[in-house]
Every structure is written in structure tokens, then in C-alpha cells.
Amino acid sequence: MTTQVGDAYIRVVTSFTATDIPSQDGRTIVVTGANGGIGRVTASVLAEKGARVVLAVRDVDKGLAAAATMAGSLEVRRLDLADLSSVREFAGSFTEPIDVLINNAGISIPPLTRTVDGFESQLGTNHLGHFALTNLLLPQVSGRIVTVGSLVHLVGRIDFADLNWTDRKYRPYGAYGQSKLANHLSAHELQRRLTAAGSSVISVVAHPGIATTNLMDVEGRGLRHRIEKFFVQSVAHAAEAGALPSLYAATADVAGDSYIGPSRMMGMRGAPAPAKRAAKTKNAGDAGRLWEESERLTGTTFPLGRIPYRPVIATEGTSS
């Protein structure tokens, strides 16, 4: 795995495990989607390390059941990322300081469905819900925003003419790829805005590689599904390993706009480390354009001052 230093890339190898996480005493950390998968592991480990962890979940009963299996200071609050009124209610009730916000929740490859606000469900949940939540909570965040991405962003494409799949034929994989590329672009633009505003808060992206979580347990038939299921079962690592990049991004000494992922098998598994990112995740024009459109769709804005918009520039990797 590589990380950029100036214009060069150097190989980085770590042996990071949960035991390497320093004490989190006195810190408040919010984890979305913390009742299952890597979010549940992330919340559990951080609570064990002394953090006060808020499990932000759509189903409170499932959140309470998950919290009952964990040790430490835990709180469960309802958050439905597919409903902007729920996002606003959650943010409005959260008046205390936050050290780290981990935007972890997500859905993967469902049939065409729409959120309460009419967005395609994967874009609405994976990107727009978290986008709104981040803007609304940002004045209270003192440390960092961790966005959980996916290797699927590599095949993602942003269709600015039809973000919500109202005119084109719906493709579940295409919609998932778009939503995860949107996560990366939004996190990149967030760091630009934080820097321009003079904020010490940083934005970091982490991806779990291929992890055996319920997000990957997609029903389906046919040869393609059988091949994909076999591939996942062959290379996937456990949720405990899949959570390590998020934990590294949340607690290690990393720079803003870092990208963290597994360090073996082309990022599919292994200990977390800074990773080389695809050029399209840093496309200034796409990132700025997506941010403006996301502000329009969610009715939320960057809260730390007006930051000039960068116009779309036709460069390599432009998704429009």
C-alpha cells in the first residue's frame, strides 16, 4: 500500500490492531449504523477504550440490543439517514461537543426504492443523509469526520444530469458505486472547506476492504451472483478486521484528506494503512459541483463561513 509524499508515493505497511488504539477517555464519538457490521465493532472497541460512544441507529431496539453486548459508556439515539427530518431532529437534540463523527451507515444494492424525501435510496442514505448530518453537527465537532467509503467507488460514476435515477434505467450496482464515489468526493471537498475556514477539524476516508458483514449479504440469483458470492467468501476478512481502517482513521495520527484502507491484496484485506486513492476522488470540479448540488437537495450548508465554489473543470476523471 502506498501514500503520497509530495509528488511521490512510498510504501506504507502497518501492523495496527485494536490494541494499538490509545485511551479514548473523555472523548465523545458518534458512530452511525452502529448496531451491526463494522459499525458495531467500531463502537464496541472505542467504548472499551474509554470513549463515550453514541450509537446513531435507525432501529433503536436493535441499537439497544447491540449496546447490551458492549462494555463502557454507551448511548443509543435514533437516526434515519433516509429521512432528512430525522437527521435534523438528531442533530438538533445533540447539543454537547463531539470529538469524532464516524459516518459509517450504509445500504448496498437494494431494488429501486426512494427515501422519505424522494432520493434514490443508496444516494440518499449513503451520501445525502450523511452530508446533511455532517453540516448540521460540524459546529460541535472538534476532532475529525471519518467517512466510511468502499472499493466500489472505483467503478462509480456521478451522473449529474440524473443523480436520483429518475430518467435512466436503474442499475443497483451503478447506484451503489455512485453513492460511494459521492462519499469520497464529499469528504475531499469537506477538507478543502475546513482548511479554507481555518478549522483544525480534519476529514478522513476509510474503507473496510472486503468484509463479511450483512452489507455484503445480498439476495440474488444467476451465475453473476454466485460468482460474486464465491469471490466475497474467498477474500473477505471478518468485520473485526474490516473495522480497523475506521478505527485507525478515527484515532491514529493522520493528516486531513487521508485515505485509509487494508494494506494487502489490492486493498481487500490486511492491516490498515494510508492508501493510494483514485484520481477521480480528488477531481476539484466534480467535488465542488456535487457539494453545491447536495446543499440544494438537503437544504443544508457548510456552517463555518462562505467558501468560494470552484467551477467545474474538464480534467481527467470528470464524471459528468
Q: Are 160 and 283 in contact (CB under 8 A)?
A: no
Nine-digit cell string for 113: 426504492
Cβ–Cβ < 8 Å for 270, 210: no
Whether 176 is catalytic: yes
Radius of gyration of the chain (CA): 18
Of the residues 170, 173, 176, 248, only one is catalytic, namely 176
C-alpha cell at 318: 470528470
**Distance in angstroms between the alpha carbons of the first and the last residue of the chain:** 29
In contact, 24 and 18? CB cutoff 8 Å? no
Query: Contact at 8 Å (CB) between 82 and 59?
Result: no
**Which residues are part of the catalytic machinery?**
176
